[in-house]
Amino acid sequence: MSEQEAIKTQQVEKYQRRQRKAAEKRMRARSQGAGNGVAAGVRRVPVYVFLIIIMIVQLLPFYLAITTSMKPADDLSSSLIPRLHDIAWSNYSRAINEGGILRAILNSVIVTVVATALVCAIGAMAAYPLARRKTRGNSLIFGLITAVMMVPPLSILVPLYAMLVKMGGVNTYWGIILVLTAMNLPLSIFLYASFIRAVPTAIDEAGMIDGANRFTIFVDLILPTLKPVTATVVIMTINNVWNDYSLSNYILSDPSMQTIAPRVGAFFATQTNNLGVAAACALIGALPVVIAYLFLQRYFIEGMVAGVEK
């Protein structure tokens, strides 16, 4: 074998050793990755179990309401198994005809839509100067607004009711809308102000250079950036207004003006001997907000994630 052939043979063997080492390294990496994947899957098992338990706890009231609404008036058993035959569909017709639940849903829709629109509009406009002008006065106002969120609604019921009686706002749409808008504004202002603080001030400066005033800057430049937090405010306000019972029960005593929560509460009180009708009434009342949440849940999650990132 010549000297050149010996050198070539050594180079070939060296290349083959490198290839074998690289292949062995890839095999070790794959086996280690598979092992890590299995270990990660095992570690997630308690998390999945915890989430399943939370899901069951959340869905259990709906399951109990559905099984109860299927029972006739003479069925007083405590069975949790849903009926597969002789389902008492008349419970739902009685909830509509005798309970006036459709009128209550219409009242809730009117109150919720108007109150939510006012909370978003007033909350965003109030939060803009509080977030942009960092003065002692604004800090004091923002602190008071945050403190108001801690006040229980029923603690102000007596003076609030007396004021509404003098104003003629009891059993009226505008009276309950005014109250629920005021109750939800502090949280709205807090969320909008926290979000606007993370928006670059260069946007405001660019608007000022172009000659725009503060209101124009807010409407044309700031407001379009508030879509994520607006989705969060809308969902939270709808949920609070739609489910409000503590204040609506006293302000709306007329059955024709009652919203969902006080109407369902009154129906439970008058139908204690027929829980099937009362459960059907509660399920019909919950249906619109569940449907609305199914359509808006993507915006709600995006809004919450955007709020955390900001």
Q: What is the pLDDT of residues 110-158, one digit of tens each?
A: 999 999 999 999 999 999 999 888 888 888 988 888 888 888 888 888 8
- Spatial distance between the Cα atoms of 21 and 12, rounded to a whole number of angstroms: 14
Specify the pTM. Answer: 0.73
Q: What is the pLDDT of residues 24-78, one digit of tens each?
A: 887 777 766 666 666 777 778 888 899 999 999 988 888 888 888 888 777 767 6
- Which residue, among 240, 263, 110, has the nearest Cα to 173 in the 3D structure? 110
Long-range contacts of 126-129 (CB under 8 A, 24+ apart): 126/185, 126/189, 126/192, 127/188, 127/189, 127/190, 127/191, 127/192, 127/193, 127/195, 127/196, 128/192, 128/196, 128/218, 128/222, 129/214
